[in-house]
Amino acid sequence: MSDNTVPASANPPRRWPALLIGLCVVAGVAGAMGWFMYKPKAPMALLASDKLGMSRPDGLLETHSLSQLPKDLLAVPFLKETLTEDFVFYYETHADRLGLIGSLRRIIYEHDLKLQDSLIEQLFDQPADIALWRGADGRLKDFLLVMDRGGLAKVLEPLAKVALDDTQLSKVAEVKVGADDVALYQLTYNATKALLFASHGDKLVVLSNPVRLQDPEDGAAPEPGSVSSQAIAALLNGEKLFPEAFGLQPRAPEVKQRLSVNSSVLAMGYQRFIPNFAGLRFDMDDQGWHSFLAMDELDNQPDFDFKPIWQAMPMGASACVALPLAAEQQQPLLVKLGADDKVAQALTGHMAGAAGLCWYADSRLYTPLMVASLDDDDSARLDGDLGTLFGSMVGAYEGKVDEHAFPVVEEQQGEIRQWQRQVSSNFGPYAASEAEQPAAITGKAFMRVSLARHGSTLLFSLDDKLVDKALDTLDKRFPPMADLVPKDLLMPVYFGPDAMAQLMQQETLDSLPQDMEPVFYNAAQTYLMPKLRTLGGYGKYALTLPEGSEPNGHWQWLPLQWKAL
């Protein structure tokens, strides 16, 4: 079994792939750390799909069988024990699926088509490529499906006659495939929903949202999420337009499932600040699931050295991520956030190495600890600039404090310099009654946002207790994550299931007050908490990259190796 293969057993030593958790962790880190990163070294090449008027997908699913996908996911021991059979049944009984199946069966029955009732099951039990785009809410929503199976498309040809007089099925256009004019049909279902489809030879193409069908003017770039009739024609003609958008070769026969996700989905809108991170991929073959990280090469590519991060991070984290740090090109952003040009230039010019984030069960999901490094050339000279930037970026309008933010409290002790500001927030860890001046707090709670410099290490968090713990770690009064992680390995991601389960339980119950949400609270106690307890029983894992890993060009896929700790 290769190192990046998802472990096959959950028995001691406990192993599991955290397949979906990895997506969530990287998504959160990408948003929080984005302002440190460079622009790409070179623009990405124009893809064939771009030229044909189809925008780059945000996600891609390549499968040997759509109907087998949920079961294949449950082949992962961790997912099997935490998702249960409801996960599979959800897709079997989803309203859109049932509505579509019902509409097709009505058409077949009312028009006396000589189609077997098993046609529906055949449609969901075929090899398929599915490109996905995000909706307005940021979630993967609309899709373009291409099926390739001899004879299947021809089975659907009787639908052409039905389209002349059916209320739910109609012919809306034609696309040119070689010398043939191929009809494009629209099927309406569930009263308000519709999809487009066309078949030619051994190909079936389905577009889930007719609004996505747009033909750009000559020379114009396709709109995000749009698909042109020219692209549909190319897919019907057998062209593979999807894998190229993710830097992939066509799926090999031994790969049963391949799921690729663009960083545009994971970065929550901050992708322009994190061009180093391109995406994630999960492959399944006869040996199990495998994980990959896609990186893009940057100008002056910083070294992948995360050791200083793990020396500063306190032990006991729920999850951690570290990324190479590069800041020079983000000077304009710092200026917009309140720094003048001179301060922005000074700070970005002294950033070095890597930066990392860790979440802790004794804090909150939205208050991770960030660690970054400065160069060793008299870092204390930057204290004035750091204080200025902290004062301009951190704080809020406090209506009870003469319409100003609370003052910044600055302290120095040896090589430690710390800045702290009280900020009113109903999500803060401190009740308003704990403040020195409770009447000045706007709301029922507040935070003590904290920034500290310990030598050449920068620490920041919305939770001052995490910063204090990190300072103790650097002063060797508290053990660091470095004592836990593998020695001499490149570890960008750490996951502690027990601490993560505690954090998730706290966040869930906090968002569902029992007196206000009794139904959801009881449901969480009944269904979610047992799963979190199962999650907490798994061992800790480090996700590592091969020694000497470094991106070279666009969409450089690097295998993620799972190491049990």
Q: What is the pLDDT of residue 37?
A: 34
Least confident of 101-110, 336-345, 430-439: 101-110
The 180-189 sheet, strands edge to edge: 169-177, 180-189, 193-200, 203-207, 140-148, 128-134, 59-63, 257-262, 277-285, 288-295, 556-559
At 145, list the tokens. 């499906």
- What is the model's pTM? 0.71
Say whether pLDDT at 43 is over 70.
no
CA dihedral 66, 70, 75, 79 (to 10 degrees): 150
Give the mean pLDDT of 228-246: 89
**Residue 89: pLDDT over 60:** no
Q: What is the pLDDT of residue 531?
A: 78
Strand residues in 65-127 grouped as ranges (E): none
All residues at 6 or more sequence positions from 81 whose CB lies less than 8 Å from its CB, including other chains: 10, 534
What is the residue extent of each domain of the chain? Answer: 307-564
Identify the pLDDT of residue 197: 83
pLDDT of residue 99: 53
Token digits of residue 421: 């500001």
CB atoms within 10 A of CB 515: 6
Task: Grade residue 190 by pLDDT with cuts at 50, 70 and 90.
Answer: low
Neighbour tally for 217: CB within 10 Å: 6
> Band of the pLDDT at 54, cuts 50, 70, 90?
confident
Instruction: Flag whether pLDDT at 457 surpasses 60.
Output: yes
CA dist 186 to 18, 84, 224, Å?
40, 36, 22
Residue 401: what residue type? Answer: V
Query: Is the peptide bond between 13 and the residue preceding it cis, with omega within 30 degrees of 0?
Result: yes
The runs of H, that is alpha helices, within 192-242 are 229-236
More confident residue, 527 or 317: 317
pLDDT at 97: 52
On the CB side of 195, CA atoms within 13 Å amount to 20
- 354 Cβ contact partners less than 8 Å away, ≥ 6 residues apart: 302, 304, 305, 306, 308, 309, 322, 323, 324, 325, 372, 373
E-assigned strand segments in 30-161: 59-63, 128-134, 140-148
Q: Beta 445-454 vs 203-207: how paired, if at all?
A: unpaired
Query: CA 258, CA 263: separation in Å to the nearest integer?
Result: 16
Host H or E run for residue 449: strand 445-454
**Residue recorded with tokens 């009870």:** 400
What is the structure's pLDDT at 8?
Answer: 37
Indicate the range of 3-12, 107-116, 283-292, 553-562 predicted with least confidence.
3-12
Residue 503 has pLDDT above 60, yes or no: yes
* Per-residue pLDDT at 350 exceeds 70: yes
Using the predicted structure, report yes or no on whether residue 434 has a pLDDT greater than 50.
Answer: yes
Q: What is the 3-state secondary structure (H, E, C) of 375-395?
A: CCCCHHHHHHHHHHHHHHHCC
Write a three-state SS string for 391-441.
HHHCCCCCCCCCCCCCCEEEEEECCEEEEEEEEECCCCCEEHHHCCCHHHC
pLDDT of residue 130: 86
Q: Which of 43, 33, 552, 30 is nearest to 277 (CA)?
A: 30
Give the pLDDT confidence of 126-151 residue by residue, as tens digits: 788 888 888 877 777 888 888 876 55
